[in-house]
Chain A
Amino acid sequence: MTRATPPLDVLIVEDEPLIAMDIQFMIEDAGHTVLNTAASLREVTALPEAEVPDVAFVDIQLAEGSSGLDVNTLIQERWPNTIIVFVTANPKKIPEDFAGAHGVIAKPFSSHGFTAALQYLQEGVSEPPPVSPQPGSFVASPRFAETWKG
């Protein structure tokens, strides 16, 4: 598997437009590219398949009553190499095995916290294992963390 190199292409799935915009700017400040922003499962389904994200930030509670857990499943089917990170106020809703996703950033996040998580994640994606200490704002799934060992 070829590793994504920075700048990373990012998909944001978030139903609050202000939060989505905020996340987008923070990602762009860090030098990455936001490919698309979607607010619901339907909007993710409608995205062009050819625009493959390296990383997807996915809220759990989405517009139109849809769930980020279903978006997670869809992304894994459609773009199997995409790194999926939940960004949620409900981290307890995430199954223990993260349902195949790679990590979580809990809301509310601080500017520093989100930036630190982004840095750590980029290292983990592009040149694993990450050299920065794991920030408190980011929790890697057991499976994702496993890939950085040995």
Chain B
Amino acid sequence: MEQQDDWRLTEALPHQLGRGDPFAAAVRATRMPMIVTDPAQDDNPIVFANAAFQRLTGYSREELIGRNCRILQGPKTSRESVNKVRAAVMAGDDVSVDLLNYRKDGSTFWNALYISPVRDEDGTIRYFFASQMDITSRIDAHSRIARQKDEVEQEVRRRTADLEAALEAQTLLLHEVDHRVKNNMTMIGSILRLQLREMNPEGAGQLRATMQRIDALGTVHRRLYQSEDVTRFDIGAFAATLASDFAQASPGVRILTDLRRAEVSVGHASALGLVVNELLTLMFQRQKDLPAPGEVRVSAHGTPAATVLMLEDRGSRSLLDSDSTGPLSRSLIQRLTAQANATVTFDPIEGGQRVTLTIGREE
């Protein structure tokens, strides 16, 4: 290589870059590729290129001197970055860009290019000084990471779309099943009501009790799927709905409610719904026997340990207990409360009676 001859070149350069100048020696010997161009000459040619620059680009000093830097550009060099350099040179500004450059052998490297003008005492630009740095490995790592990020993001998008589609299918299925259950429960109710119309009075009473139980189950299901949260069931709101249904058949009975948040687990909603139906049936039967209609109070609240539903009636003197019911109703209450981790107590209150359903919280 002829780069050793660049002693001559630095000697040829006027100003402070003369031979023997320690700064000139440093520029020649540094590992950082550097060039100087002369804007006073046509096409701003290279007038100095250090050894590191010759090593980086593969061009010898002779091949570089007198040529414009664009010999390093190639087909994949960004036009935008080149224009940025050109504009800065025209304006006499510093500029720093990352460029894809081409060596003499056609191979490419990423060049962190920094150019700054060198002015004389009058402020006239005498030279441009440019330093280069091969940052190919950094750019490669960047683009590899960017590519991997793209791949991961694509995979995430694909899987999210799969999950969303699965969820949508499941939601559709849930709605379809819910719709069918509701329709079937409506039909069961209709069949029982139609049958009831044909029955003699003795049998009708029992079928009516059955129908009320089916109605209560239907109400549980309706309330469950009308709410936003299908995992909780408010026993107080349910009892109030059922009581107002019952009141419809017992004109004059007043319903009073005092409802706080009183949620129970959905798994026990049907069992507890049936228990509430049995208890309210008892209460409204007592109301029917009264000379003047009284009132039924429904109140519910939750404590950290339990959900409590209280049903009170006033006006009846006789006292209820678990023996007041028929055998089926009694065993329904017993078994279903046990299933739902609940207890029922019957207490006298002033002018009537209170039935308390206490449902223990699940862990």
Contact = CB atoms under 8 A, between A and B. Distances in A.
Interface stretch (A1-9, A76-84, A130-138): A130-138
Contacts of B211: 111
Interface residues of B, number: 30
Contact of A89 (B182, B189, B193, B215): B182
Interface stretch (B41-49, B98-106, B238-246): B238-246
Contacts of B240: 136
Interface string B194-212: 1001000000000000011
Contacts of B222: 106-108
B249 interface: yes
B213 to A, nearest CB: 11
A137 B191 CA distance: 20
Interface stretch (A16-24, A42-50, A67-75, A95-103): A16-24
B186 interface: yes
A113 B226 contact: no
A34 to B, nearest CB: 15
B266 interface: no
B215 A18 contact: no
Interface of B: 175, 178-179, 182-183, 185-187, 189-191, 193-194, 197, 211-212, 215-216, 218-219, 221-222, 226, 240-241, 244-246, 248-249
Interface of A: 16, 18-19, 21-23, 25-26, 61, 89-91, 106-113, 115-116, 119, 133, 135-137
18 contacts: A16-B183, A18-B187, A23-B190, A25-B193, A26-B193, A61-B179, A90-B179, A106-B222, A107-B186, A108-B218, A110-B216, A110-B219, A115-B249, A135-B245, A135-B248, A136-B244, A136-B245, A137-B241
Given A112-B248, A113-B215, 15 more contacts: A16-B183, A16-B186, A18-B194, A26-B193, A90-B175, A90-B179, A107-B222, A108-B185, A108-B222, A110-B219, A111-B211, A113-B245, A116-B244, A133-B244, A137-B241
